[in-house]
């Protein structure tokens, strides 16, 4: 099982995705991260960090 965790603007951890996988292979993680990127609303780079903004559950895209 793969679990992607992020940090919100308040500094609290937030689960971004949970996926069943046969293991923690590079291809399994890549597939999960590509899927997450596809769900992101916007992408920006700030102070050398990649930032994805995900819509909150129930919000319009």
String of DSSP letters for the chain: -EEEEEE-TTS-EEEEEEE--SS--HHHHHHHHHHHHHH-SEEEEETTEEEEEPPPTT---
Q: Is 18 left (phi over 0), alpha (psi -120 to 50) or beta?
A: beta
Q: Tens of pLDDT along 25-59?
A: 999 988 888 888 777 665 555 555 556 666 666 65
Number of domains in the chain: 1
pLDDT in tens, 3-12: 888 887 788 8
Residue 8 pLDDT: 77
What's the pTM value of the predicted model, to 2 decimals?
0.59
Question: Predicted confidence band at 15 (pLDDT cuts at 50, 70, 90)?
Answer: confident
Domain limits for position 9: 2-53
Residue 60 lies in a domain: no
Q: Is residue 27 part of a domain?
A: yes
């Amino acid at each position: 099982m793969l679990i992607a965790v992020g940090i919100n603007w308040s500094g609290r951890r937030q689960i971004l995705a949970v996926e069943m996988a046969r293991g923690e292979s590079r291809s399994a993680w890549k597939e999960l991260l590509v899927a997450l990127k596809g769900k992101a609303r916007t992408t920006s780079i700030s102070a050398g960090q990649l930032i994805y903004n995900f819509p909150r559950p129930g919000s319009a895209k």
